[in-house]
Amino acid sequence: MVREGDSAPDFTVPKAGGDAYNDIDEFTLSDALGNGPVVLAFYPAAFTSGCTEEMCTFRDRMDEFDGLDADVYGVSVDLPPAQNVWMMENDLQFPMLSDWDHEVIRAYDVVLDDMYDLFEAAQRSVFVLDSEGTVTYRWVREGDNPDFDELASEVRDAVERTAEPETAE
C-alpha cells in the first residue's frame, strides 16, 4: 500500500490529451516530476455521473492548481480514445492517463474489484506527489462519494503545503 512519505511507484502509460479521439502520447511519471507537485486523481470510469462530477470539479478549479505550479492527471482503466471523447464532451483541460492493463491501480493499491459486480476499475482516490516523487497526501474513498468541492479544496491545500519551499533552520 502506498502511504504518505513513500516514494510513488513510477509507471509509463498512454496519456489522453483531449483534443481529438486519437490525441494520445506516452506518459512516464518520473519524467513529470521536478517542476512542482503532481496530483494523481484516480477515478473508476469515464462517462459515469460521479466521475464526471469529480473531474469537472477539478476542471472548474484548475486555476488554483495552475497557480501552485501543480500538474493534475486523471487516472482510470478506460482506453485513451474513450477518455478523449469524454474529455471533449466535458471540456476537461487536463490529461487523463490510461491504466488499461491495471498495473498502476495495483501498484498504488487502489483496485475497485467489483465495479458493477462485473470488472476491476480504479478506486476513487487522490495522491499528491512532491517534485521528488514522495507522496505528501493520500485520500482513498470509503463509503459514499465525498462532496467533490470539499475534496478539491483539501487536495489544493495539500498541494499548497507540498509546493511551499522548505525553510532553512
Selecting among 40, 51, 70, 163, the annotated active-site residue is 51
- Three-state DSSP at 108 gives coil
Q: Do 94 and 73 contact (CB within 8 A), yes or no?
A: yes
Q: Are 43 and 75 in contact (CB under 8 A)?
A: yes
Q: Is the dihedral of CA 14, 153, 60, 112 positive or negative?
A: positive
3-class secondary structure, 135: strand
Residues 69 and 100: their CA atoms lie apart, in Å, by: 28
Backbone CA torsion sign across 137, 105, 100, 88: negative
- DSSP letters spanning 16-38: E-SSSTT-EEEEEHHHHTTSS-E
CA dihedral 127, 129, 133, 139 (to 10 degrees): -30
Known catalytic residue: 56? no
So which residues are the catalytic ones? 51
